[in-house]
Chains A and B, each alone.
Chain A
Amino acid sequence: GAGVSQSPSNKVTEKGKDVELRCDPISGHTALYWYRQSLGQGLEFLIYFQGNSAPDKSGLPSDRFSAERTGGSVSTLTIQRTQQEDSAVYLCASSLGAPPNTEVFFGQGTRLTVV
């Protein structure tokens, strides 16, 4: 596609429910990243994929968070038993290859609100 696409753009869920956030990277991009931006906070790294493998998942805040990538393309970030502190904008990004010399492009984000 022309850019990184994320869905849904907005999600409101009740505390305790599970949610799935989807990311379609730019076609041909092998690297994919998930970040979280809480209100008034900076961007927090969650996980990085190279192909279908996740060499760095050090930013996932708890075992309620998981992510997968299939076919070297679409990725899904799943949050189980959501809590109010999970409310944030979840941003996905992709780049043509592994670091170091590649530009990273971001999607528009999914705004998650846990009520």
Chain B
Amino acid sequence: KQEVTQIPAALSVPEGENLVLNCSFTDSAIYNLQWFRQDPGKGLTSLLLIQSSQREQTSGRLNASLDKSSGRSTLYIAASQPGDSATYLCAVNTDKLIFGTGTRLQVFP
């Protein structure tokens, strides 16, 4: 059974820091991996999609890497801002998305 774990569960940092959020999964037979952010009381916003054949994907200050064989992905956030405060979720795609429990990020001024 596929299990997805995210570390840390919560993170509080001052503005301007570079951050790494970790995601691990137990079964490497995935099609792709997707990172989302969720603001309180809101739905999920897609951040990055990495195909199983890719090693990394970048969008602005965000960079996501994927090591499928070791079952790991990282989301790197450069020069964090208070607006980055949210819960970050990773999800692996088999025939459906299986989610981790998220990292709750707070960036303070």
A interface vs B, CB < 8 Å? 4, 33, 35, 41-43, 45, 48, 55-56, 91, 93, 99-101, 103-109
Q: Please report which residues of chain B, range 49-102, place their CB below 8 angstroms from some CB of chain A when the two chains form the complex.
A: 49, 51-52, 89, 91, 93-102
Tell me the nearest residue of chain B to A43, going by C-beta.
B99
Question: Which residue of A42, A55, A104 contacts B46 across the interface (Cβ within 8 Å)?
Answer: A104
Q: A42-B101, A106-B36 are in contact. Are A100 and B93 (CB under 8 A)?
A: yes
Tell me the nearest residue of chain B to A55, going by C-beta.
B95
Complex: A101 Cα to B34 Cα, angstroms: 11
For A56, list chain B residues within 8 Å (CB).
Answer: 95-96
Q: A99-B31, A101-B31, A101-B32 are in contact. Are A107 and B43 (CB under 8 A)?
A: yes
B44 to chain A, nearest CB (A): 4
Count chain B residues whose beta carbon lies closer than 8 angstroms to a beta carbon of A.
24
Could you tell me the dominant secondary structure of chain B's interface residues?
strand
Q: A42-B100, A99-B31 are in contact. Are A108 and B42 (CB under 8 A)?
A: yes
Tell me the nearest residue of chain A to B53, going by C-beta.
A101
Complex: A105 Cα to B97 Cα, angstroms: 11
For B42, list chain A residues within 8 Å (CB).
Answer: 108-109
Tell me the nearest residue of chain B to A103, going by C-beta.
B49
Tell me the nearest residue of chain B to A105, going by C-beta.
B46
Tell me the nearest residue of chain B to A92, going by C-beta.
B43
Q: Is the CB of B97 within 8 A of A103?
A: no
For A93, list chain B residues within 8 Å (CB).
Answer: 44, 97
Per-residue contact bits, chain B 1-45, to A (CB 8 Å; 1 contact, 0 not) = 000000000000000000000000000000110101000001111
Tell me the nearest residue of chain A to B30, going by C-beta.
A100
Pick from B46, B97, B98, B101 the residue with the most CB of A within 10 Å: B97
Complex: A107 Cα to B34 Cα, angstroms: 16
A56 to chain B, nearest CB (A): 6
Q: A42-B99, A42-B100, A45-B97 are in contact. Are A106 and B31 (CB under 8 A)?
A: no
A114 to chain B, nearest CB (A): 18
